[in-house]
Protein backbone atom coordinates (compact mmCIF):
# COMPACT_ATOMS: atom_id res chain seq x y z
CA UNK A 1 0.00 0.00 0.00
CA UNK A 2 2.83 2.37 -0.82
CA UNK A 3 3.16 4.76 -3.69
CA UNK A 4 4.45 1.93 -5.83
CA UNK A 5 1.80 0.26 -7.95
CA UNK A 6 1.37 -3.27 -6.66
CA UNK A 7 1.20 -5.73 -9.53
CA UNK A 8 -0.74 -3.25 -11.59
CA UNK A 9 -3.57 -3.16 -9.07
CA UNK A 10 -3.67 0.60 -9.10
CA UNK A 11 -5.11 0.39 -12.59
CA UNK A 12 -8.68 0.37 -11.31
CA UNK A 13 -11.91 -0.18 -13.19
CA UNK A 14 -12.44 3.55 -13.70
CA UNK A 15 -9.08 3.79 -15.40
CA UNK A 16 -9.90 0.78 -17.55
CA UNK A 17 -13.00 2.58 -18.75
CA UNK A 18 -11.22 5.85 -19.49
CA UNK A 19 -8.48 3.97 -21.30
CA UNK A 20 -10.97 2.04 -23.36
CA UNK A 21 -12.67 5.23 -24.49
CA UNK A 22 -9.44 6.43 -26.04
CA UNK A 23 -8.28 3.08 -27.40
CA UNK A 24 -11.52 2.33 -29.24
CA UNK A 25 -10.78 5.16 -31.66
CA UNK A 26 -7.11 4.28 -32.09
CA UNK A 27 -5.99 2.83 -35.43
CA UNK A 28 -4.36 -0.56 -35.45
CA UNK A 29 -0.61 -0.19 -35.30
CA UNK A 30 0.50 -2.24 -38.28
CA UNK A 31 4.10 -1.24 -37.60
CA UNK A 32 4.00 -3.40 -34.48
CA UNK A 33 1.75 -6.12 -35.87
CA UNK A 34 1.32 -6.19 -39.67
CA UNK A 35 -1.16 -9.09 -39.49
CA UNK A 36 -3.12 -7.85 -36.48
CA UNK A 37 -1.92 -10.61 -34.15
CA UNK A 38 -0.49 -10.00 -30.69
CA UNK A 39 3.17 -9.01 -30.89
CA UNK A 40 6.02 -9.42 -28.44
CA UNK A 41 9.40 -7.70 -28.23
CA UNK A 42 12.03 -8.35 -25.60
CA UNK A 43 15.60 -8.33 -24.47
CA UNK A 44 17.60 -9.87 -21.65
CA UNK A 45 20.81 -7.97 -20.97
CA UNK A 46 23.99 -9.92 -20.33
CA UNK A 47 26.53 -9.25 -17.62
CA UNK A 48 28.88 -7.43 -20.00
CA UNK A 49 26.20 -4.93 -21.02
CA UNK A 50 25.12 -4.29 -17.42
CA UNK A 51 28.73 -3.81 -16.36
CA UNK A 52 29.19 -1.22 -19.11
CA UNK A 53 25.97 0.56 -18.05
CA UNK A 54 26.14 0.76 -14.24
CA UNK A 55 23.20 3.18 -14.01
CA UNK A 56 20.83 0.88 -15.91
CA UNK A 57 18.62 -0.95 -13.43
CA UNK A 58 16.67 -2.98 -16.00
CA UNK A 59 18.08 -6.45 -16.63
CA UNK A 60 15.08 -7.90 -18.49
CA UNK A 61 12.50 -6.00 -20.53
CA UNK A 62 9.53 -7.08 -22.63
CA UNK A 63 6.83 -5.13 -24.45
CA UNK A 64 3.58 -6.80 -25.49
CA UNK A 65 1.15 -5.31 -27.97
CA UNK A 66 -2.24 -6.98 -27.99
CA UNK A 67 -4.62 -8.57 -25.52
CA UNK A 68 -4.07 -8.34 -21.76
CA UNK A 69 -1.39 -10.92 -20.79
CA UNK A 70 -1.62 -10.24 -17.05
CA UNK A 71 -5.19 -10.38 -15.76
CA UNK A 72 -7.09 -13.57 -15.17
CA UNK A 73 -10.56 -14.21 -13.73
CA UNK A 74 -10.33 -13.61 -10.01
CA UNK A 75 -12.47 -11.78 -7.52
CA UNK A 76 -13.90 -9.63 -10.27
CA UNK A 77 -13.87 -10.58 -13.96
CA UNK A 78 -11.85 -8.07 -15.93
CA UNK A 79 -13.78 -4.98 -17.03
CA UNK A 80 -11.32 -4.51 -19.87
CA UNK A 81 -12.59 -4.94 -23.40
CA UNK A 82 -10.42 -5.83 -26.36
CA UNK A 83 -10.30 -2.11 -27.11
CA UNK A 84 -8.86 -1.10 -23.73
CA UNK A 85 -5.17 -1.20 -22.85
CA UNK A 86 -3.18 -2.72 -25.69
CA UNK A 87 0.40 -1.99 -24.67
CA UNK A 88 2.02 -3.78 -21.73
CA UNK A 89 5.53 -3.20 -20.40
CA UNK A 90 7.33 -5.43 -17.93
CA UNK A 91 10.86 -5.14 -16.61
CA UNK A 92 12.93 -6.96 -14.05
CA UNK A 93 15.58 -4.95 -12.26
CA UNK A 94 18.97 -6.52 -11.66
CA UNK A 95 18.84 -8.50 -8.45
CA UNK A 96 15.01 -8.61 -8.41
CA UNK A 97 13.16 -11.91 -8.32
CA UNK A 98 9.93 -10.72 -9.95
CA UNK A 99 9.06 -8.28 -12.73
CA UNK A 100 7.08 -5.09 -12.43
CA UNK A 101 4.59 -4.04 -15.06
CA UNK A 102 2.48 -1.21 -16.36
CA UNK A 103 -0.14 -0.91 -19.09
CA UNK A 104 -1.29 1.81 -21.46
CA UNK A 105 -3.13 2.41 -24.69
CA UNK A 106 -0.97 2.87 -27.76
CA UNK A 107 -1.78 4.80 -30.92
CA UNK A 108 -0.36 7.21 -33.44
CA UNK A 109 0.72 10.56 -32.07
CA UNK A 110 -1.05 12.08 -35.09
CA UNK A 111 -3.77 9.82 -36.48
CA UNK A 112 -3.95 11.84 -39.70
CA UNK A 113 -0.25 11.36 -40.48
CA UNK A 114 0.82 7.87 -41.57
CA UNK A 115 4.44 8.75 -40.83
CA UNK A 116 3.61 9.87 -37.31
CA UNK A 117 5.36 8.27 -34.37
CA UNK A 118 3.63 6.06 -31.84
CA UNK A 119 2.96 6.76 -28.19
CA UNK A 120 1.53 4.72 -25.34
CA UNK A 121 -0.34 6.80 -22.78
CA UNK A 122 -1.27 6.01 -19.19
CA UNK A 123 -3.75 7.38 -16.71
CA UNK A 124 -3.35 10.96 -15.48
CA UNK A 125 -1.99 12.02 -18.90
CA UNK A 126 1.26 10.17 -18.29
CA UNK A 127 3.45 8.46 -20.88
CA UNK A 128 4.28 4.76 -20.83
CA UNK A 129 6.70 5.02 -23.76
CA UNK A 130 7.24 6.28 -27.28
CA UNK A 131 7.58 3.54 -29.91
CA UNK A 132 9.46 3.13 -33.16
CA UNK A 133 10.26 0.08 -35.27
CA UNK A 134 13.62 0.15 -37.05
CA UNK A 135 14.43 -1.32 -40.47
CA UNK A 136 15.30 -4.68 -38.87
CA UNK A 137 11.94 -5.00 -37.13
CA UNK A 138 13.32 -4.17 -33.70
CA UNK A 139 11.26 -2.04 -31.34
CA UNK A 140 12.83 1.14 -29.97
CA UNK A 141 11.29 2.15 -26.65
CA UNK A 142 12.07 5.73 -25.69
CA UNK A 143 10.73 8.35 -23.32
CA UNK A 144 10.31 5.70 -20.63
CA UNK A 145 9.66 7.67 -17.46
CA UNK A 146 11.61 6.86 -14.26
CA UNK A 147 8.33 6.72 -12.33
CA UNK A 148 6.50 4.46 -14.78
CA UNK A 149 5.80 1.96 -11.97
CA UNK A 150 5.03 4.59 -9.33
CA UNK A 151 1.91 6.56 -8.57
CA UNK A 152 1.60 10.14 -9.76
CA UNK A 153 3.19 12.41 -7.17
CA UNK A 154 5.35 9.62 -5.76
CA UNK A 155 8.49 11.78 -5.62
CA UNK A 156 6.81 14.16 -3.20
CA UNK A 157 5.23 11.37 -1.17
CA UNK A 158 8.33 9.19 -0.90
CA UNK A 159 11.06 11.79 -0.63
CA UNK A 160 14.07 12.06 -2.92
CA UNK A 161 16.08 9.17 -1.49
CA UNK A 162 13.30 6.56 -1.54
CA UNK A 163 12.03 7.80 -4.90
CA UNK A 164 15.46 7.34 -6.48
CA UNK A 165 15.64 3.87 -4.97
CA UNK A 166 12.30 2.78 -6.42
CA UNK A 167 12.41 4.66 -9.74
CA UNK A 168 14.20 3.47 -12.86
CA UNK A 169 17.79 4.56 -13.42
CA UNK A 170 19.00 7.36 -15.68
CA UNK A 171 20.15 4.82 -18.28
CA UNK A 172 16.82 3.01 -18.39
CA UNK A 173 15.62 4.44 -21.71
CA UNK A 174 16.03 4.00 -25.45
CA UNK A 175 15.69 0.23 -25.25
CA UNK A 176 16.17 -1.77 -28.45
CA UNK A 177 14.03 -4.92 -28.29
CA UNK A 178 14.01 -7.89 -30.63
CA UNK A 179 10.78 -9.42 -31.98
CA UNK A 180 10.11 -12.71 -30.18
CA UNK A 181 7.13 -15.13 -30.10
CA UNK A 182 4.03 -13.93 -28.27
CA UNK A 183 4.27 -16.90 -25.91
CA UNK A 184 7.60 -15.52 -24.69
CA UNK A 185 5.87 -12.40 -23.43
CA UNK A 186 3.06 -14.41 -21.88
CA UNK A 187 5.58 -16.51 -19.98
CA UNK A 188 7.38 -13.36 -18.81
CA UNK A 189 4.19 -11.71 -17.59
CA UNK A 190 3.21 -14.94 -15.84
CA UNK A 191 6.24 -14.41 -13.57
CA UNK A 192 4.58 -11.32 -12.07
CA UNK A 193 1.92 -13.12 -10.08
CA UNK A 194 2.22 -16.90 -10.40
CA UNK A 195 -0.94 -18.83 -9.67
CA UNK A 196 -0.69 -20.56 -6.29
CA UNK A 197 -2.88 -23.68 -6.25
CA UNK A 198 -2.83 -23.63 -2.44
CA UNK A 199 -5.03 -20.51 -2.49
CA UNK A 200 -7.95 -22.37 -4.01
CA UNK A 201 -10.90 -20.67 -5.65
CA UNK A 202 -11.52 -16.90 -5.34
CA UNK A 203 -13.47 -15.64 -2.33
CA UNK A 204 -16.42 -14.79 -4.56
CA UNK A 205 -16.78 -18.51 -5.31
CA UNK A 206 -15.91 -19.78 -1.85
CA UNK A 207 -18.32 -17.41 -0.10
CA UNK A 208 -21.88 -17.52 -1.44
CA UNK A 209 -24.26 -14.51 -1.48
CA UNK A 210 -26.96 -16.34 0.51
CA UNK A 211 -24.75 -18.19 2.98
CA UNK A 212 -23.28 -16.90 6.26
CA UNK A 213 -19.61 -17.25 7.06
CA UNK A 214 -17.32 -16.68 10.02
CA UNK A 215 -13.53 -16.26 10.05
CA UNK A 216 -11.43 -15.24 12.99
CA UNK A 217 -8.51 -15.65 15.28
CA UNK A 218 -7.83 -15.48 19.01
CA UNK A 219 -4.26 -14.56 19.88
CA UNK A 220 -2.66 -16.26 22.86
CA UNK A 221 -0.28 -14.72 25.37
CA UNK A 222 2.77 -16.19 23.63
CA UNK A 223 1.88 -14.47 20.34
CA UNK A 224 1.05 -11.15 21.99
CA UNK A 225 4.31 -11.23 23.92
CA UNK A 226 6.27 -11.45 20.66
CA UNK A 227 4.12 -8.72 19.06
CA UNK A 228 4.08 -5.94 21.66
CA UNK A 229 2.67 -3.44 19.15
CA UNK A 230 -0.42 -5.52 18.44
CA UNK A 231 -3.60 -4.31 20.12
CA UNK A 232 -5.87 -7.00 18.70
CA UNK A 233 -6.58 -9.85 21.08
CA UNK A 234 -9.47 -11.35 19.14
CA UNK A 235 -10.91 -10.65 15.69
CA UNK A 236 -13.90 -11.92 13.72
CA UNK A 237 -14.97 -11.27 10.12
CA UNK A 238 -18.45 -12.48 9.31
CA UNK A 239 -21.75 -12.27 7.48
CA UNK A 240 -24.70 -13.17 9.62
CA UNK A 241 -28.50 -12.83 9.40
CA UNK A 242 -28.40 -9.03 9.31
CA UNK A 243 -25.83 -8.86 6.50
CA UNK A 244 -27.60 -11.61 4.53
CA UNK A 245 -30.94 -9.81 4.83
CA UNK A 246 -29.38 -6.55 3.69
CA UNK A 247 -27.97 -8.16 0.55
CA UNK A 248 -31.18 -10.09 -0.14
CA UNK A 249 -33.13 -6.82 -0.02
CA UNK A 250 -30.91 -4.64 -2.20
CA UNK A 251 -27.98 -6.69 -3.53
CA UNK A 252 -27.44 -8.10 -7.01
CA UNK A 253 -26.21 -11.69 -6.90
CA UNK A 254 -25.07 -11.45 -10.53
CA UNK A 255 -22.51 -8.82 -9.46
CA UNK A 256 -21.42 -10.56 -6.26
CA UNK A 257 -19.58 -9.52 -4.12
CA UNK A 258 -20.36 -5.88 -5.05
CA UNK A 259 -22.54 -4.42 -2.29
CA UNK A 260 -21.93 -7.27 0.16
CA UNK A 261 -21.90 -6.14 3.79
CA UNK A 262 -19.51 -7.76 6.22
CA UNK A 263 -19.02 -7.18 9.92
CA UNK A 264 -15.67 -7.04 11.71
CA UNK A 265 -15.53 -7.41 15.50
CA UNK A 266 -12.36 -6.65 17.41
CA UNK A 267 -11.48 -7.10 21.06
CA UNK A 268 -8.34 -5.31 22.18
CA UNK A 269 -6.19 -6.34 25.11
CA UNK A 270 -6.21 -2.80 26.47
CA UNK A 271 -9.95 -2.10 26.54
CA UNK A 272 -11.26 -5.64 26.61
CA UNK A 273 -14.57 -4.55 25.07
CA UNK A 274 -15.70 -5.85 21.68
CA UNK A 275 -16.28 -3.22 19.00
CA UNK A 276 -18.04 -4.07 15.73
CA UNK A 277 -17.72 -2.19 12.44
CA UNK A 278 -19.67 -2.84 9.23
CA UNK A 279 -18.02 -2.62 5.80
CA UNK A 280 -19.46 -2.65 2.30
CA UNK A 281 -17.37 -4.64 -0.18
CA UNK A 282 -16.72 -4.95 -3.88
CA UNK A 283 -14.45 -7.25 -5.87
CA UNK A 284 -11.20 -5.75 -7.08
CA UNK A 285 -8.67 -7.95 -8.89
CA UNK A 286 -7.78 -10.73 -6.44
CA UNK A 287 -9.24 -9.13 -3.35
CA UNK A 288 -12.36 -7.60 -1.79
CA UNK A 289 -12.07 -3.90 -1.14
CA UNK A 290 -14.35 -2.98 1.75
CA UNK A 291 -15.22 0.54 2.87
CA UNK A 292 -16.36 1.29 6.41
CA UNK A 293 -20.09 1.90 6.58
CA UNK A 294 -22.27 3.82 9.02
CA UNK A 295 -24.85 1.02 8.88
CA UNK A 296 -24.91 -1.07 12.05
CA UNK A 297 -21.80 0.76 13.17
CA UNK A 298 -20.61 2.09 16.51
CA UNK A 299 -19.38 5.28 14.77
CA UNK A 300 -21.54 8.00 13.27
CA UNK A 301 -19.07 10.18 11.34
CA UNK A 302 -18.33 9.89 7.62
CA UNK A 303 -15.95 6.93 7.59
CA UNK A 304 -16.51 5.74 4.02
CA UNK A 305 -12.83 6.27 3.16
CA UNK A 306 -11.70 3.85 5.85
CA UNK A 307 -10.95 0.64 3.97
CA UNK A 308 -9.83 -2.91 4.59
CA UNK A 309 -8.92 -5.60 2.05
CA UNK A 310 -9.80 -9.29 2.10
CA UNK A 311 -7.83 -11.89 0.15
CA UNK A 312 -7.88 -15.66 0.06
CA UNK A 313 -5.11 -17.32 2.00
CA UNK A 314 -3.56 -20.75 1.71
CA UNK A 315 -5.38 -23.74 3.12
CA UNK A 316 -8.82 -22.13 3.29
CA UNK A 317 -7.73 -19.13 5.37
CA UNK A 318 -8.63 -15.50 4.74
CA UNK A 319 -6.16 -12.62 4.79
CA UNK A 320 -7.33 -9.25 6.11
CA UNK A 321 -5.16 -6.23 5.36
CA UNK A 322 -5.61 -3.08 7.40
CA UNK A 323 -3.02 -0.63 6.02
CA UNK A 324 -4.60 2.62 7.18
CA UNK A 325 -6.03 2.13 10.67
CA UNK A 326 -9.35 1.01 9.23
CA UNK A 327 -10.26 -1.44 11.99
CA UNK A 328 -12.30 -0.36 14.97
CA UNK A 329 -9.30 -0.70 17.27
CA UNK A 330 -9.49 3.06 17.75
CA UNK A 331 -12.36 5.46 17.17
CA UNK A 332 -12.50 5.79 13.38
CA UNK A 333 -13.92 9.29 13.82
CA UNK A 334 -10.93 10.56 15.78
CA UNK A 335 -8.17 12.63 14.27
CA UNK A 336 -5.59 9.98 15.12
CA UNK A 337 -7.44 7.56 12.85
CA UNK A 338 -6.24 9.54 9.83
CA UNK A 339 -2.67 8.29 10.21
CA UNK A 340 -1.06 5.05 9.14
CA UNK A 341 -1.28 2.01 11.36
CA UNK A 342 1.94 2.00 13.37
CA UNK A 343 1.34 -1.18 15.36
CA UNK A 344 1.29 -4.84 14.40
CA UNK A 345 -2.43 -4.60 13.58
CA UNK A 346 -1.96 -4.50 9.81
CA UNK A 347 -2.34 -8.01 8.38
CA UNK A 348 -4.28 -10.92 9.84
CA UNK A 349 -4.46 -14.56 8.77
CA UNK A 350 -7.95 -15.72 9.76
CA UNK A 351 -9.24 -19.27 10.05
CA UNK A 352 -12.75 -20.49 9.20
CA UNK A 353 -14.86 -20.83 12.34
CA UNK A 354 -18.36 -22.06 13.17
CA UNK A 355 -20.99 -19.38 12.87
CA UNK A 356 -21.54 -19.49 16.62
CA UNK A 357 -18.05 -18.04 17.08
CA UNK A 358 -19.24 -14.85 15.37
CA UNK A 359 -22.53 -14.49 17.21
CA UNK A 360 -22.79 -10.96 18.65
Are 124 and 238 contained in the same domain?
A: no
Q: Collapse the DSSP code of 228 into the 3-class scheme (helix H, G, I; strand E, B; otherwise coil) and give the result.
A: coil
pLDDT tens track for 299-357: 555 565 678 899 999 999 999 988 766 677 765 565 554 555 556 788 899 999 999 99
Are 163 and 309 contained in the same domain?
A: no
What's 4's DSSP letter? B
Are 58 and 137 contained in the same domain?
A: yes
CB 264 within 8 A of CB 179: no
Are 211 and 185 contained in the same domain?
A: no
Are 189 and 233 contained in the same domain?
A: no
Domain endpoint, select from 175, 195, 215: 195
pLDDT tens track for 112-137: 777 778 999 988 788 999 999 999 99
Provide CB contacts within 8 A for 284, sequence distance 6+: 9, 12, 13, 75, 76
- Classify residue 272: in a domain, yes or no: yes
- The beta strand positions in the chain, using DSSP E, are 39-44, 58-65, 87-93, 100-108, 118-122, 126-133, 139-142, 175-180, 213-218, 232-239, 260-268, 274-284, 287-293, 307-312, 318-321, 347-352
Mean pLDDT in consecutive groups of 10 residues from the start of the chain, 360 residues: 33 32 54 92 97 96 92 62 77 94 90 81 88 95 93 81 90 96 94 85 92 96 90 93 93 92 88 82 87 66 73 93 73 54 80 92
Are 210 and 181 contained in the same domain?
A: no
Are 207 and 290 contained in the same domain?
A: yes
Domain span at 305: 203-358
Are 275 and 324 contained in the same domain?
A: yes
Domain count, the chain: 2
Give the pLDDT of residue 27: 46
Q: State the pTM of this model.
A: 0.59
Are 174 and 113 contained in the same domain?
A: yes
CB atoms within 10 A of CB 25: 10
* 50: enclosing H helix or E strand: helix 47-52
Nearest CA to 71 among 146, 16, 150? Answer: 16
Are 208 and 71 contained in the same domain?
A: no
CB 291 within 8 A of CB 280: yes
Amino acid sequence: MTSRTVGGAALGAALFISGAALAEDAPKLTELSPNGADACFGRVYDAAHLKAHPHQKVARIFFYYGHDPVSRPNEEPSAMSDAAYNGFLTTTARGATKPEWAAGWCNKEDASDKASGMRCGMECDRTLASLKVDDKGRLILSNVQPDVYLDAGAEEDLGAAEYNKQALGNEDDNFRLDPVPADTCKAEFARIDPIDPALGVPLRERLKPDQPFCYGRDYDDAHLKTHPGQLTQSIRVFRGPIELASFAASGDAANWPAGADIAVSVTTRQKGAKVTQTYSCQGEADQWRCSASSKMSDFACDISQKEIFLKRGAGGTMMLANPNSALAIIDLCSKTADGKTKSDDKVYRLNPMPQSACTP
